[in-house]
Amino acid sequence: MGARSGNNYLTVLKRLGADIRIGEERVRDATSHPAFTRPARWIASLYDMQMERPEAMTFRTEDGGRAGMSFIIPASVEDLRRRGRMMKAWADYAMGYAPATPDLANATVAAMAAAAEFFAEANQQFADNIRTYYRIARDRDWCIAEAMLDPPVARDGGMDERLRMVERTGAGIVITGRRMFTPLAPMAEELLVLPCNLPDSDDGSNARALCFALPCNSPGLRFVLPGNDARGDSTVSRPLSAGFGALDCIAVFDNAVVPWERVFLCEDSERCKRLREATSLDAHRMHQRTVANIAMAESMLGITLRIAREASRAADGVEEMEATIEAMRACLVAAESGAIADRWGTLAPRREPMETARHLLSRLYSRLTNEVERFMRLVPPASPHGAADAEVSDSADGSIREQAHLLMLAEDAAFGPLAMRRVNIEGKILFGESPRTKDKAGGNVLDELVERVEAFLRRMD
């Protein structure tokens, strides 16, 4: 089939029948439920871009078909740039605020398939499995959601709910437990479960040393969202959160069977710990998030300028914001141009510039929050329909309605759940500790800079 359309995605999602629970409610159709309707249609719009701009959004596969560009296995700097431009188009559509889009998992699966020989070191079948999975996922353009973290371990001695294998059978492995997933999961067709951190001292870590994929409608699998939060937010009051989804969910595995052809690593703590570095997948995931961060930074500047125009004054710090965005763009160029082929021959962007871009985003976020707080003080709190009201009547004065909508967008962009997630916690969730502060031997790179100064001081004595 190759690159798909939005209508195809919605049709498949409608008939998928995954077990989704919001509190006590069972969601029968994610495409029509208020909590998921807008995010699902937004994802469909991303797929439609592939149909509208095939040369920019897709690439030719070995059989002559077209696949989504995020599935490409980069063999050159130009491949990375093409993938980056495609990812930017998707990110711009969401103003950079989307918590997860299909291209993130697509790049992960491609990186793993390119490093299939790493999996062959454990079992040749696992290498064949990841190659086959990549090819099918690419050719069907699956919407795949990634696991994020294990749920916290209960401190009161309660049941350990972390995901683990409980049995091997002829059909596959039987798994039980819970895993946190991104907001994309209830609207996805497939789950990709990557290994979590596995401490050496944990006797049960080998049973949790797993890497596999599973259809979202598999028996024994359900998605759980809190009933008091998982609702259809107003597009007016929460234009970003309502449009792109903001809630992480818990995937509950209750003796679910993962077929052997979907298993990539099993009870292999050593390789699970090396997976991210050995396959370069973190670098490819960071490529997608760096592009999204730039789109988010540009949106922050746009909102700041629009607020200044509404308040009929000059925006403070615009030059600084522009310089920061240019620095982020330069980081992306440096990451792509300085890409290095890994041991499998796949070009991986340099991580260090992309880490720098992520840290630069926090400067813009601080500037945006200052501007939004000033704007909130300027907007009359008792306007005819209330600038902070969740819904603004169509009969309200046009300028009041426009001002109210701008304020709500600005508040969501600065203080909403997507902003807090992206700026404050996403890096730790997706990539763990920054490699900039550690070298391969575990030492502190910053200590080397201090030592350089101290050596100079010693030479002066």
End-to-end C-alpha distance for the chain, whole angstroms? 72
Question: Who's near 202: CB < 8 A, 6+ residues apart?
Answer: 208
> Average pLDDT in the 312-334 region?
88
Q: Cα(292)–Cα(435) distance, rounded to whole angstroms?
A: 20
Rounding to the nearest 10 degrees, give the CA dihedral for residues 32, 33, 37, 43. Answer: -90
Q: Does the model's pTM come out above 0.75?
A: yes
Domain 278-435's class? mainly alpha
Task: Tell me how far apart the alpha carbons of residues 74 and 86 are, in angstroms, rounded to a whole number.
Answer: 13
Q: What is the mean pLDDT of the chain?
A: 85
Domain positions in the chain are 6-83+95-275, 278-435
Residue 351: name the closest of 257, 450, 276, 247 by CA: 276
Which helix (H) or strand (E) is 285 found in, with range?
helix 281-310
pLDDT at 377: 77
- Cα torsion angle, 418, 422, 425, 426, sign: positive
How far is C-alpha 19 from the chain's CA centre?
22
Backbone angles phi, psi at 374, to 5 degrees: -65, -40
Q: Are 94 and 244 in contact (CB under 8 A)?
A: yes
Place of tokens 């615009």: 318
- Give the Cα separation of 342 and 358 in Å (integer): 23
CB 136 within 8 A of CB 320: no
Local confidence band at 305 (pLDDT 50, 70, 90 cut-offs): confident
Is residue 228 within 8 A of residue 23, CB to CB? The reply is yes
168 or 436: which leads in pLDDT: 168
Rounded to whole angstroms, the Cα distance separating 161 from 177 reads 5
Please say if the pLDDT value at position 450 is more than 90: no
DSSP string, 323-367: HHHHHHHHHHHHHHHT-EE-TTS-EE--HHHHHHHHHHHHHHHHH
pLDDT over 80 at 123, yes or no: yes
Which of residues 280 and 368 earns the better pLDDT score?
Answer: 280
* DSSP-derived secondary structure for 1-62: --SPPHHHHHHHHHHH--EEEETTEEES-TTTSTTTHHHHHHHHHHHHHHHH-HHHHEEE-T
Which is more confidently placed, 210 or 427?
A: 210
Is 423 in contact with 365 (CB distance < 8 Å)?
Answer: yes
Q: Is the pLDDT of residue 439 over 50?
A: no
CA-nearest of 217, 216, 181, 62 to 131 is 62
Query: pLDDT tens digits, residue range 366-425?
Result: 888 888 888 777 765 433 333 444 444 444 455 777 788 888 888 888 888 888 777 766
Cβ-contact 180, 100 below 8 angstroms: no
- Residue 430: pLDDT band (50, 70, 90) is low
Tell me which of 224 and 397 has the higher pLDDT: 224
Q: Are 68 and 141 in contact (CB under 8 A)?
A: yes
* Beta strands at 221-225 and 347-348: parallel, antiparallel or unpaired: unpaired
C-alpha triplet 305, 309, 313: angle, nearest 5°: 100
Q: How many residues does this entry show for the chain? A: 461
pLDDT band at 157; cut points 50, 70, 90: low
Which residues, other chains included, contact 453 with Cβ-Cβ below 8 Å and sequence gap of 6+? none
The per-residue pLDDT for range 245-277, each reduced to its tens digit, is 766 789 999 999 999 999 999 999 999 999 999
Check residue 331 and give its pLDDT.
97
Contact between 326 and 363 under an 8 Å Cβ cutoff? The reply is: no
SS percent in the chain: helix, strand, coil, step 5: 55, 15, 35
Tens digit of each residue's pLDDT (9 = 90 or more) over 42-99: 999 999 999 999 999 999 999 999 999 999 999 999 999 999 999 999 999 989 998 8
- Domain 6-83+95-275: homologous superfamily in CATH: Butyryl-CoA Dehydrogenase, subunit A, domain 2 (2.40.110.10)
Q: Which three-class secondary structure state does DSSP give residue 426?
A: helix
Binned at pLDDT 50, 70 and 90, residue 236 comes out as low
Average pLDDT value for residue range 128-143: 97
- Top pLDDT among 66 and 310 is at 66
pLDDT of residue 379: 63
Distance CA 148, CA 189 (A): 17
Q: What is the pLDDT of residue 417?
A: 81
Q: Give residue 449's pLDDT.
A: 74
Range 146-151 average pLDDT: 82
